[in-house]
A and B are shown apart, each in its own frame.
Chain A
Amino acid sequence: NAGVTQTPKFRILKIGQSMTLQCAQDMNHNYMYWYRQDPGMGLKLIYYSVGAGITDKGEVPNGYNVSRSTTEDFPLRLELAAPSQTSVYFCASSYPGQGLLEAFFGQGTRLTVV
């Protein structure tokens, strides 16, 4: 059982470049999330999705875009990378009901923008 899989694990981008962080889950979870984690800080929500075709902004959405064409996949797009986007990115998923907040996290993508 793979759970939540993120690729790549590490990436270095130059300012102005773009990239897509991939996230896939095999638990048939409706809800999926993207968080970023900066050193010494907790996780902050970038975007989330409650199901295929539905996405919404979280706390820190500027500079990012998402799409959700299938239940399994939830890619995060950075269009014009900036140094402020250097961070560790985590994708997560959860299932509706009492366990809605009991999110399962991927291993993270460590992104450096230079």
Chain B
Amino acid sequence: GQQLNQSPQSMFIQEGEDVSMNCTSSSIFNTWLWYKQDPGEGPVLLIALYKAGELTSNGRLTAQFGITRKDSFLNISASIPSDVGIYFCAGPFEGSQGNLIFGKGTKLSVKP
């Protein structure tokens, strides 16, 4: 079945450092989404990508839709303590309109 593999599983970084994480799919996607989950909260959408090769920014966050349509990347520049949380990639669940399949997440810790 469909699988999304996210890496790394966790990251411990110093405030001010840049962060990169990625997600690969076992199947081709026509949409990639990146969500962030703060501790004790529900996921919040950060960036949605709809076209292969697309590069989209949201403040210090930049996400790319891979050319192969089987991967996506999220970069965070100049990290700050409030970047702490779990970052999930997600894509369309096969054969089911509107439903999402999620990666297992990348847990980010930022040391001030």
Q: Footprint of B on A, CB under 8 Å?
A: 4, 31, 33, 40-45, 48, 50, 56, 58-59, 90, 92, 94, 96, 98-108
- CB pair B50 A98 closer than 8 Å: yes
User: In the complex, A103 Cα to B76 Cα: how many Å?
Assistant: 22
- CB pair B33 A105 closer than 8 Å: no
Q: Which residues of B contact A45 (CB under 8 A)?
A: 93, 99-100
In this complex, how many residues of chain B approach chain A with their Cβ under 8 Å: the count is 25
If the complex has contacts A90-B43, A101-B31, A105-B42, are A43 and B102 also in contact, measured as CB distance less than 8 A? yes
Q: Shortest beta-carbon distance, B31 to chain A, in Å?
A: 6
User: In the complex, A4 Cα to B4 Cα: how many Å?
Assistant: 26
Q: Which one of B41, B97, B98 has the highest number of Cβ atoms from chain A below 10 Å of its Cβ?
A: B98
A105: contacting residue among B43, B50, B99, B105, CB under 8 A:
B43
Question: In the complex, which residue of chain A has the Cβ closest to the Cβ of B92?
Answer: A101
Q: Which residues of B from 57 to 85 have beta carbons under 8 Å from A?
A: none
If the complex has contacts A45-B100, A94-B98, are A102 and B43 also in contact, measured as CB distance less than 8 A? no
User: Given known contacts A33-B98, A42-B103, what 5 new A-B pairs fall within 8 Å (CB)?
Assistant: A31-B98, A43-B88, A102-B33, A106-B42, A107-B40
- CB pair A41 B99 closer than 8 Å: no
- CB pair B100 A103 closer than 8 Å: yes
Question: In the complex, which residue of chain B has the Cβ closest to the Cβ of A43?
Answer: B102
> Is B45 engaged at the interface, CB distance under 8 Å to the other chain?
yes
Q: Which residues of A contact B33 (CB under 8 A)?
A: 101-102
Q: Shortest beta-carbon distance, A34 to chain B, in Å?
A: 11
Q: Which residues of A contact B99 (CB under 8 A)?
A: 33, 45, 48, 58
If the complex has contacts A42-B103, A98-B50, are A107 and B98 also in contact, measured as CB distance less than 8 A? no
Cβ contacts A to B, 21 pairs, < 8 Å:
A31-B98, A33-B98, A33-B99, A40-B105, A43-B100, A43-B102, A44-B102, A45-B93, A45-B99, A48-B96, A58-B99, A59-B93, A92-B42, A96-B98, A98-B50, A101-B100, A102-B33, A103-B100, A105-B44, A107-B40, A107-B42
Q: Shortest beta-carbon distance, A104 to chain B, in Å?
A: 8
Question: In the complex, which residue of chain A has the Cβ closest to the Cβ of B97?
Answer: A100
Q: Shortest beta-carbon distance, A52 to chain B, in Å?
A: 15
